[in-house]
Amino acid sequence: MKIHKTHKSLLASAGILLVTLSQSQAHISYSGRNFGTFAGGEAPVIISNQTVTGNFGWADGTDADFGDSHKMKAFRFTLTSTATVSLTVSGNAVGAGILGLNPGFTLYSGLAHLAPITNAPGSADHDFSNISQDYLNGLGGPHEGAFNALATWRVGGDNQAGPVFDYNAPDGLSTFTYIGHAVDGTAANYGNAPGIFGDGLLDGTVTGTFYNLAAGNYSIFIGGSDYASQLNSPVPTYGISATFMAVPEPSTGLIGLLGATVLLRRKRN
């Protein structure tokens, strides 16, 4: 009987440990998901070894109670000058990730807190830290998580507070400033929240192009676009393939030069 009890408590401890590990691994990070630094005109960069839990993470962040960022994967890039950026995301069979994701993604300026988290024992940003929950409670209403697919949102980690941790964010919260989104399919897939622009064809791929982005750091959150599938069980793991490209903006100096050339030619003619 004694042995049986010990066995049970060991199992329970193991279960708690597993849950803790899987959650901490899924806190917001860019590990293996940094497209790189671009001025525009570089070759496309493809990241095709990533997975996401469920086919609904992005769509779930379009409603009033937001979504859980653990159901997304965060990617990042840096621009050194103004550029236009294009991103294509497709479902992709990779490792434990099955084919079949209907992708949606949102582009934000700003980054999550980056490892190493210096204010030990702080954690990477996640939806259920005290400061994230305090922030969400301040917005009113119940929230499933901090992720907002259609607007600017904020999130912080455990024990992240005060200017010691992050002089850019004295309240300890990272800010993702909304720029735009792209999503596979139609309202039949991603739901009828106002302001969503789908690509109209549910084929497991979507492309978004974002013009005149200023130099700086950017985050992209990618997840599933099938709102209704959050009711399904079990929740499969899906593979992602993401192709990123940056094109330089023509500088005003260059445009001026081209205009002058046209005028010269007209005068000669």
Instruction: Tell the smallest beta-carbon distance from residue 151 to Ca ion (Å).
Output: 13
Is there binding between residue 184 and Ca ion (CB under 5 A)?
yes
Choices 20-28, 119-127, 153-161, 197-205; region in contact with Ca ion by CB under 5 A? 197-205
Instruction: Tell the smallest beta-carbon distance from residue 230 to Ca ion (Å).
Output: 5
Is there binding between residue 203 and Ca ion (CB under 5 A)?
yes
Residue (152 or 251) nearer to Ca ion, CB: 152
Cβ neighbours around 2 below 10 Å, total: 6
Choices 35-43, 116-124, 136-144, 174-182; region in contact with Ca ion by CB under 5 A? 136-144
What distances in angstroms separate CA 253 from CA 65, 100, 110, 249, one per listed residue?
A: 47, 46, 29, 11
The binder of Ca ion chosen from 18, 201, 258, 264 (CB under 5 A): 201
Is there binding between residue 144 and Ca ion (CB under 5 A)?
yes
The binder of Ca ion chosen from 42, 63, 134, 171 (CB under 5 A): 63
Cβ-proximal residues to 4 (8 Å cutoff; 6+ apart), any chain: none
Phi, psi of 268 (to 5 degrees): -65, -40
Burial of 149 by CB count in 10 Å (0-12 exposed, 13-18 middle, 19+ buried)? buried
Instruction: Tell the smallest beta-carbon distance from residue 162 to Ca ion (Å).
Output: 31
x-or-dash pattern for Ca ion, window 69-98, by CB under 5 A? ------------------------------
CB 151 within 8 Å of CB 178: yes
Residue (65 or 264) nearer to Ca ion, CB: 65
Instruction: Tell the smallest beta-carbon distance from residue 44 to Ca ion (Å).
Output: 19
Is there binding between residue 171 and Ca ion (CB under 5 A)?
no
Residue (125 or 199) nearer to Ca ion, CB: 199
Q: How many residues of this chain bind Ca ion (CB under 5 A)?
A: 10
What distances in angstroms separate CA 131 from CA 123, 126, 172, 204, one per listed residue?
A: 12, 10, 8, 36
Instruction: Tell the smallest beta-carbon distance from residue 269 to Ca ion (Å).
Output: 47
Is there binding between residue 100 and Ca ion (CB under 5 A)?
no
Is there binding between residue 229 and Ca ion (CB under 5 A)?
no
Return left, alpha or beta for 230; rule: phi > 0 is left, psi -120 to 50 is alpha, else beta: alpha
**3-state secondary structure at position 252:** helix
Helices (DSSP H) in the chain: which residue ranges? 2-26, 57-60, 130-139, 187-190, 252-268
The pair of structure tokens assigned to 241 is 């393939």
- The amino acid sitting at 204 is G
Residue (9 or 203) nearer to Ca ion, CB: 203
What is the C-alpha separation between 255 and 152, in angstroms, rounded? Answer: 34
The binder of Ca ion chosen from 60, 158, 166, 226 (CB under 5 A): 60
The residues binding Ca ion (CB under 5 A) are 60, 63, 65, 67, 144, 184, 199, 201, 203, 206
